[in-house]
Amino acid sequence: MRNVHLAAMLLIGASVCRAEQGSSSCGSCTDFPAGPIRVLESFEEGVPSYVQASGVPLTVNSRRMKHGNQSLSWQWNGNDTLTFRTLIGYRRQRLLTELQKDHQENLHAAPDIDVYEAPRGFFMWIYNDVPRKQRLRFKFGHGVEVDCWFDYNLDFNGWRTVAIYYDRGDMAGTAREDMDFMTICAPSIGTGTFLIDTLGFSVPMNPRTATPNPQLPQIDRHPRLVSNYEHRMYQFSQYTPLYDPTPLTSQTIEDFRTLDRQAKELYLPDKSRRQWKDCRLDLIEERFRQFEIVREGEEIYGRPLVKDNIMFEYFQELGLSKDRHMEGLMSWEKNFGPTLLQIAEAWNCSDSSDVRDRLAAMFIDLFDYGIDQGFAVGAGLNWIHHYSYEIRDYAPAMFLMRDVLKEHERLQEAIDICKWFHGFNQVYRDDLVYGYEGRIASDADDMQGLLTQRLLCALIMNDSPEKARDLRHFSDHFSTVSTGYANALDEAFKPDGTVFHHAGHTLGYGGRAIYGAVRTWSILKHTQYAASPEAVQRLKKVANTYEFCLFGKNRKTPKAFASIRFQPYTHPKHFGNMPEALGEASASSGMRMLPYSCVGIKRQKNDWMITARTHSKYVYPFESWSRNYFAFPLFIANGYLDVSYPGSLDSTTPSDSVWFDGYDWRRWPGTTTVHLPEDIIATRVGQVRDEGGEYLFSDQPFCGGLETSYGCGVQVFSFKGHDKYELASFTGKKTWFYDGNKVVCLGSDIKSGIENYPVETTLFQDHLETETTPVLINGTECCAPLFEKTLNPKTWLMDTRRTGYAVLGMDEQSSLKLRRGLQENPNCTNTGMATGRFVTVWFDHSIQPVGASYAYVLVAATVPEEMQELADGLNGSVSPIRIVQQNADAHIVRLTEKRATAYAVYKKDGMDFETGLARHVDSASCFMIRQEEDRLRVSLSDPDLNIYDGQDDLLPDGTRGELSIYEHEWFYWPSRESKVHLTLNGRWKMDSLVRAMETTEQQAKVIAANEKSTMVEFTCRDGLSTELILSRVPEQ
């Protein structure tokens, strides 16, 4: 019936693994304590000789097990003990470099970075035949001495896990590396039988996943500020409603039915019901038979059901693949949930009473089997990855089978299980979010896999005042917390419309989060539980922003949005158009500035899309997990500027893969970099307080920009390299001024103290399809296979992708260079060399420049005639673009055709202006002033998110280190308001507010005016933009 060969293989493999670990042939591992007899003990050879019970002799049970074909059966009486005489194998955390090489890959560590192995813990499955208000005590020791111990509550029936660390404060006492026994002490009174299986005396346990549960309430949660609900399931289960139940009204009952109808249409559309055929029952029954469920009286048996990650993560030292780990086992995600949902859908679709009876019987069997297997209230598995991916089918199945559950007197149990696993009680506390008062957060994973399911937990309930109360709680939580704007690094929705996960902007996780929220909104609408108007507006904003970032008919995202794997994200088709689902027309043209991701976007439908990417004190430049994902992200957010076209997502992405072979990772388009050797810039992922990944925040807060109602914008980037790569002397300022299909690109005050390596600003690096693919230089084709040249400072060019570049100038220490031909560079994972043919144009600012600068105009989707006309105009008496100022204090550009002047003021305490309508501004800011007959259109932002003062990663010697991404104190702190006072020449009065500052109560206003000047006060927050129209006051 079960996989005997697998069980035997695991026994052999486990013994070998432990033997090697203690052998002298293991090199640097020789000082490790010897391990237990098995990595995994599943009692496949019967009762082991090293196990002894004080009372009734031990046996094995072949009816219930969690691995292989049998489990250990301990029939106990009061005060009996069960002792395992074996080396426990506990060891204190050691540097990973002291272990076998293959363990490095599990933690994604860079070869030259010291990383600690996971702490050791104890794991096993235990079956309790009768719930009891008693405890087991587990004792570990050496000789006759007990070194550490813990108690385990027994108020459950069925299978549960025992998962606990040795040295993280969850056990009493102090673990020792020479411990050689474990004793389990039965309750002092009573009798019963425990089954034990899948025992690991010393297994690696992810230190971030410790979670208390009813069996082990003493476990301390990890201090990381992540918002995954699984960390707090036990805490949430103890929350109680704040609202009192009120009598039901006819309107409330009618709303219940509306919610039912809308939820059912979501999970089982009419089209699916019409397409159902009873012949599909055979396939469902075949899938059901795989569980091998057998009933004997009140008992139910079946194949072991586990959460996949338990085997792979806790028993990774067996060296098996994930598939081999799961042989003979049934999976929550792949088997249990999908089968329940498939049965539920079929039951609702079929018109045959016989078919429905057979389906109902299967459903109840599977439901009861799940409870016996540990899918039950209070089950604690530690965290072990996201439940949202594993259990998303369970609540929909229960919702669709409410009538069957009620008929079989299991409805309340189903409700309780759903509420436990989905953390429903979290909605009872809007004031205490993930353990902190005033926090607003909703994890993106939870939103896509649990949010709608959490609503179903209440819809499953019988009509009652309690159901109405729970729905009211859910609705309020959805409107204020789930769809609220999260602060700082918290997730998910942000005031600029971005969606956060892993403490940064993400379109993959973010799109799924929005989809979950839209689905939930669609169930709640047209009832008293509908989302608030403010929540709907926020949801529309994030949905529109998400859509605005997608490009082309396949709706993909270019590299400006990429992180971790740096692969283009593709919008899933079944998501549809989410703004339209919300009744909002999605914008496909215009300018957007996203301060929480430091990305600027200018696009014209799907004709072209310009994107620029930077980073700041609050926005990390990239999220790197290892070189296996991508090895060279260091400079990608140093001003990455690229254009997307139909058929060419961006200049770095081939149509059929992720990267071009031979790409030079130091010459991203638009970036200013130091041309260091690749082995120096390869990502060096380490470990900080149990947290992996590399998140190198800058110490520069002035990054972000301005968007306007007429499609123009400003993006600023004050940069400084990170100490980790010895780049602290590498600094400068970069600004982009957006106007139509043009971007005016300015750089100034570029400095570097790094010897031997030049500083460069790259205009473009294009892959050449053939060795003669041409580029244009001042209208002349350059198509030589090999070509290098220093270009004239007043050159205009067109690359291979219809993007033009008109060079306006540079400082004396810089030169403009072009190179085309073959180039060899490390591949994307730094595991070998790759060759490709490219053409590259860049400013060479020389080695150790001081005050280097550049200026050029990028033109999207251009033609030679347009470029020549632009070049002629730039050199003419009335230039369409005039650089007014370009120094450390400010970058200012006059856009002649728009009758607008754009200001990027970098000077912290502001400055005076000698010409133009602006007279003075009192702090660093971005603003644009556009003349419209006798009116002025003034747009302004303070790009500084202004979350905290100082620098939290500063070391005593003045250098900067790395902090755990989820332990920054300011992780959920709000952006603070700032005041910017702009003084204009002439007397003006407020006409209208075109764009309000969404996250402040106070709005822009005129606070002083006379014949010579007018002072406007702007209240800024979250890096957002505001815009107003002023009218001239006639002279008296």
CB-CB contact of 1030 with 936 (8 Å): yes
Full strand arrangement of the beta sheet holding 815-826: 672-674, 758-767, 833-847, 815-826, 787-791
Tens-place pLDDT, residues 558-617: 999 988 778 899 999 999 999 999 999 888 899 999 999 999 999 999 999 999 999 999
* SS3 at position 289: helix
880 vs 539: CA distance, rounded Å = 39
Nearest by Cα to 420 from 448, 454, 452, 446: 454
* pLDDT value for 828: 95
396 vs 265: CA distance, rounded Å = 12
Least confident range of 558-567, 731-740, 777-786, 811-820: 558-567
Nearest by Cα to 73 from 193, 201, 206: 193
**Who wins on pLDDT, 673 or 380?**
673
What's the whole-number mean pLDDT along residues 409-419? 98
CB-CB contact of 315 with 203 (8 Å): yes
What's the whole-number mean pLDDT along residues 674-698? 92
Which ranges of 60-195 does DSSP label H, i.e. alpha helix? 102-107
Q: Which residue has the tokens 């043919």?
A: 837
Beta strand pairing call for 158-165 and 191-204: unpaired
Sign of torsion over alpha carbons 192, 198, 201, 204: negative
Instruction: Name the superfamily (CATH) of residues 4-205.
Output: Galactose-binding lectin (2.60.120.430)
Nearest by Cα to 426 from 406, 403, 442: 442
Tens-place pLDDT, residues 1007-1035: 999 999 999 999 999 999 999 999 999 88
The neighbour count for residue 48, using CB atoms within 10 Å, is 17
Beta strand pairing call for 305-306 and 330-331: parallel
650 vs 646: CA distance, rounded Å = 10
* pLDDT value for 519: 97
Domain ranges of the chain: 4-205, 276-305+323-421, 885-945+977-1036
Sign of torsion over alpha carbons 553, 555, 559, 564: negative
Tens-place pLDDT, residues 57-81: 999 999 999 999 999 999 999 999 9
**Token pair of 719 as six digits:** 């940069």
290 vs 302: CA distance, rounded Å = 9
* SS3 at position 747: strand
700 vs 150: CA distance, rounded Å = 48
* Confidence band of 551 (pLDDT split at 50, 70, 90): very high
pLDDT of 12 higher than 60: no
10 Å CB burial of residue 969 (0-12, 13-18, 19+) is exposed
982 vs 920: CA distance, rounded Å = 6
**Who wins on pLDDT, 163 or 8?**
163
Which secondary structure element, helix H or strand E, spans residue 739, and what is its range?
Answer: strand 731-739
1036 vs 1024: CA distance, rounded Å = 37
pTM: 0.94
270 vs 279: CA distance, rounded Å = 19
* pLDDT value for 70: 96
CB-CB contact of 834 with 778 (8 Å): no
**Token pair of 72 as six digits:** 């250990």
CB-CB contact of 804 with 796 (8 Å): yes
* Confidence band of 20 (pLDDT split at 50, 70, 90): very low
What's the whole-number mean pLDDT along residues 495-519? 96
Query: Which amino acid, 716?
Result: V
848 vs 521: CA distance, rounded Å = 56
* pLDDT value for 100: 42
CB-CB contact of 893 with 954 (8 Å): no
Annotate 554-582 with DSSP letters as a single string: TTB--GGG--TT-PPPB--GGG--HHHHT
526 vs 529: CA distance, rounded Å = 8
* SS3 at position 970: helix
**Token pair of 151 as six digits:** 């108690």
What's the whole-number mean pLDDT along residues 386-393? 85
**Token pair of 174 as six digits:** 């102090």
**Token pair of 738 as six digits:** 């957006």
Tens-place pLDDT, residues 117-144: 889 999 999 999 999 999 999 999 999 9
Nearest by Cα to 1022 from 982, 977, 969, 968: 977
The neighbour count for residue 1014, using CB atoms within 10 Å, is 25
Q: Which residue has the tokens 């493999």?
A: 13
Least confident range of 14-28, 283-297, 686-700: 14-28
- Under CATH, which architecture does the 885-945+977-1036 domain have? Sandwich (2.60)
* Confidence band of 308 (pLDDT split at 50, 70, 90): confident
* pLDDT value for 543: 97
